[in-house]
Amino acid sequence: MEMRDAREADAARLAALADAPQDVMRNLVHDRTVRVAEAGDEVRGFVSFDARERTVYITQLEGDSEVYDALLAEPVRFARTERMAVEVLVPETASGMHSAAADAGFERVGAGPEFDGERTTRYRIEEH
C-alpha cells in the first residue's frame, strides 16, 4: 500500500468512493490536504483534512475499511509534527471507522452533529 497526495486526475475515483459529484472531489483536492491509499494503480481510499485553530480536522474518510488505519495515520502524523490536536466525526453506522479511530489512538469525546439525519460521534487526540 502506498500513500500519496491526491491529484486532480483522481477526482473520478474519489467521487466513486464518496458517492459524490466529480467536480466536488476536484475542488476537494484543491481546497484541502487529501492523501490517497493506492495499491498498484488502484486508489483504495482517501482522507481529507485541514488545520485551523490548533486542531487538524479530518473532513472525509472514504474507501475500503482495510485502509482506514493507514489513512488515519496521515493526519495524525501531521498533527503530531505540528503539535496540534486532531479530530474526526464518525457516522453512527460506520463501525469500521469507529474501530479504526480507536486503534489510531482517538478517544471518544461525545456526540457530534447530525449529517443527513445520521448521528455522529466525535473522536479526538489531544495536542502532543
pLDDT in tens, 85-117: 999 999 999 999 999 999 999 999 999 999 989
Nearest in space to 15 (alpha carbons), one of 2, 3, 6, 24 = 24
Write out pLDDT tens, residues 79-92.
999 999 999 999 99
On whether the CB atoms of residues 127 and 100 are closer than 8 A, the answer is no
**C-alpha to C-alpha distance for 116 and 44, rounded to whole angstroms:** 25
On whether the CB atoms of residues 28 and 62 are closer than 8 A, the answer is no
pTM, two decimals, is 0.93
